Structure 1
Amino acid sequence: MTLSKPYTVLLFDPNPHSARILQTVLHQSGVKSVIHATEESEAIDLMKLSQLDAVLCDCSGKSDAGLNILRFIRNPKGPCDPKLPVIMTASDASVTKVTQARDAGSTEFVAKPVSVATMTKILVSALEKQRPFVESEQYFGPDRRRRRVNVNKPRRKSDQTTAQG
């Protein structure tokens, strides 16, 4: 699995060691250009000035900076494209952290450390096989449902009576 074209990704990761590893993984996954930010304000400024295809955003530790960046992007009235793919990463990928990222509109979530094969799969999913977006008062982001489940029965009681005649 490979990316179909060269992409530019903003990487927000305050940890320089982790950021170097992720930059290498992104390049080996086929990303052409990686722009790195270590501060929340720097990432937001770069998003306003750069043509980005995606954002890879760390949400490790106790800081809310990664989630704040995600919420900034998903604001439909903000200066960024609210449908920009956002991949959240964390070295401490707890259920709570994954749920917070999902509920804030994350496109994908990947635990660190991440292999080149996994990153490539995540990038293809986020950039080239995008899910439809949901826009409501409570949520703006990709459809959180991953699979279509066929239950082979009517959805409502009224459908049952209509089907029976």
Structure 2
Amino acid sequence: MALEPNSRGRFNLEKASILMLEANGMGMDILVQIVTGLGAKSLYRCNTVEEAQDVVRQNNIDLIIADALSPAGEGYEFVSWLRSQGGEPNSFAPVVVTAAHTPVSMVQKARDCGAHYIVKKPLTPVVMLERILWIARESRPFIECDAYVGPDRRHKNEGPPDGKPRRRDDLPPEVGLAQEPNMSQDQVDGLFAARKVSL
């Protein structure tokens, strides 16, 4: 799913305002190097959710890169707050969540809080650029309802699993954190990749 090298070379974030939410100093340094390498000049560096919320209230933001901030998950909460209470136009800003651990449950949490993509650490400039370009090109519509605000999460419609009835309310709810291995970046991208839906 990699982009052609020619398309990477023509992209520049010089006029974009980027908010970065990262509690780890080394992680912030790496993130700053990546986005400045892509031409970004207007950066808002936030170490806490409160700082990020203040920036959103006072500035127009073109892109948000937020760490999941494990184990408490404040990054997910920030994205949920942004989508529901951030105010226009920032509530519709593209969001990339970064995370050191990416089990299926955490990828789903990033998707369900309203993020466009989740990127597994360690971050690389090429992967970040590809995700930013995908967001710019895909133009997914925003969904606003009681339970969710964010880009359309429907990528494919395969129906219920074999042997299951059409209604899924008989399945038990998830209890506690999942005890499963991390997904690879390709598997993460597969859950977020846009696909045609047959209705």
The TM-score, its normalising length taken from structure 1, stands at 0.82
Alpha carbon RMSD of aligned pairs, Å? 1.8
How many angstroms apart in 2 are the aligned matches of 1:53 and 1:116?
18
The 8 Å contact of residues 3 and 123 in structure 1, kept in 2 or not, is answered as no
Q: What residue is the counterpart of 2:131 in the other structure?
A: 122
Query: Is residue 20 of structure 1 aligned with residue 20 of structure 2?
Result: no
5+ residue gaps, structure 1, are 156-165
What is the aligned partner in structure 1 of residue 97 from structure 2?
88
Q: 1:6-155 residue pairs with structure 2 within 5 A?
A: 6-75=15-84, 77-80=85-88, 81-144=90-153, 145=155, 146-149=194-197
For residues 7-42 of structure 1, give each alpha carbon's deviation from its aligned partner in whole angstroms, at most 9, with x where no partner exists.
111000000001100110111123232210001111
Q: 1:27 to 1:128 in 2, by over 3 A?
A: farther
Distance (whole Å) between structure 2 residues aligned to residue 95 and residue 3 of structure 1: 31
> Is 1:3 aligned to 2:11, yes or no?
yes
Identity %: 27
120-129 vs 89-98, which moves further: 120-129
Higher relative contact order (CA 8 A, sep 6+): 1
Count matched residues. Answer: 150
Cα deviations by residue, 1:29-85 (Å, 9 ceiling, x for unpaired) = 23232210001111100111122101100004212210111011110x543532111
- 1:130 and 1:73 map into 2 onto residues whose CA distance is 19
